[in-house]
Amino acid sequence: MIDVVAIVGPTASGKTALSLELAKRLNGEIINGDSMQVYRDMTIGTAKILPEEMAGISHHLLNIKDPEDSFSVAEYQKLVRDTIADIHLRGKLPIIVGGSGLYVQAVLFDYRFSEEPVDQELREQLQKELEQLGPEHMHQKLMALDPTSDIHPKNTRRVVRAVEILMSDQPKENRNLSQSPLYNEVIIGLDIPRDVLYERINQRVDLMLEQGLIPEVMALRKRGIRDAQSVRAIGYKEIYSYLDGRLSFEDAVGKLKQNSRKFAKRQFTYFKNKLPIFWIDALANSEKSISEIIAFMQENDRTCRIDKLAENQMPTEK
C-alpha cells in the first residue's frame, strides 16, 4: 500500500498547485518539504502558501520555528515521521511537498544521524584538509555531497560539520538511499524546460518585490537577526546586502534571480541523481497530470488503497 507521496521539483515549477489538487482527489494532508518555510515571519521570500490559498487542506510544519532558531535535517526527519504517523491514524494520505531534496530523502529512506562523529579519524582528516586546502575546497566537497546546501562558504565551521555528518552518518550500505526505503512511497517530480523555469523564477522574484520582500527583510534586520541560518537563504542574503549598502538595488535583484536559477539547477541535479522519481510534465494539463499520477500509484499499490482514498476525495471547487 502507498504510505506516502512526495512531490518534488525546482522552485517555481508548480508543486503547490499540483499538491492541492492531489490532496483533494486522494483525501490527503500536506507536509512542508521546504527547509525555509518552517520559519515564521518569512513568507514572501520563501514563497510560502497563505492560509486562504490552502483550499481547506491541512498543512503541516509551516511556521514552526523563529528566524533566530537553527533547524537541521535530523530535526526535520523526526518531525515529519511523527506527522506521517499522525496523518495515517486519521486514515489520510501524507503528501510531502517541497524542493529540499535532502530533507525529503532523509525522511523516506534509512538516513541516520548522531550528535557525535562516528569516526574521530574522519573529523581529524577533515580538519587537516581544511588547513591544507582551505575553506573553498571544503565548500566544494559539501556541494558534491549535498548540491542543495545553503550553508555559506565562509561559515567554515558549519561547512566542515555538514561534510562530517554526510560522510559519517550515512552508512556505506545506505549511501544509495533508494535501496533502503522506510515507506512504500511514490515520489513525483515536476519536469519543466529550463528556459520556461528560468523565466518563471525571474517573474517570481519581481512578484516577491511587489508583495513586500524588502519590508519583510527589513523587519528581520531590525530585530537584529544577522547571522542566523534563516537569513542566509536565497532571497534574504541578497536583500541584506542591499540594505547593508554592499550591493545596489539593481545588483541585489540581479543576484537574487541568478542565485535562484543556479539553485534550481542544483535541485534538478539532486533529484535526478539521488531519488527514484516518477517524472511528469509540469506544463501539462492538471487533470492529465493527476490521472498519470493516480495510474502510477495504482500500479505500485497491491492493496488498491488509492481507490479507497479516491472514494473519500474532497469535492473539487468549481
Q: Tell me the binding residues for substrate.
A: 11-16
- The binding site for ATP consists of 9-16
Q: Which of 234, 212, 214 is nearest to 222 (CA)?
A: 214
Is the distance from CB of 70 to CB of 229 less than 8 angstroms?
yes
- Per the listing, cell 511537498 goes with 97
Q: Order the strands of the 4-8 sheet from edge to edge.
A: 59-60, 28-32, 93-98, 4-8, 185-191, 278-281
185: part of which helix (H) or strand (E)? Answer: strand 185-191
Is the distance from CB of 48 to CB of 37 less than 8 angstroms?
yes
Q: Which of 225, 236, 283 is nearest to 260 (CA)?
A: 236
- The binding site consists of 9-16
- Compute the chain's Rg from CA coordinates: 20
- Interatomic CA distance for residues 92 and 4, integer angstroms: 10
- Interatomic CA distance for residues 241 and 152, integer angstroms: 14
Cα dihedral 74/79/85/89 (nearest 10): 180
CA distances for 143 relative to 43, 124, 136, 166, 184, angstroms = 26, 20, 11, 11, 29
Q: Which three cell numbers stand for residue 215?
A: 519590508
CA 115 from chain center: how many Å?
23
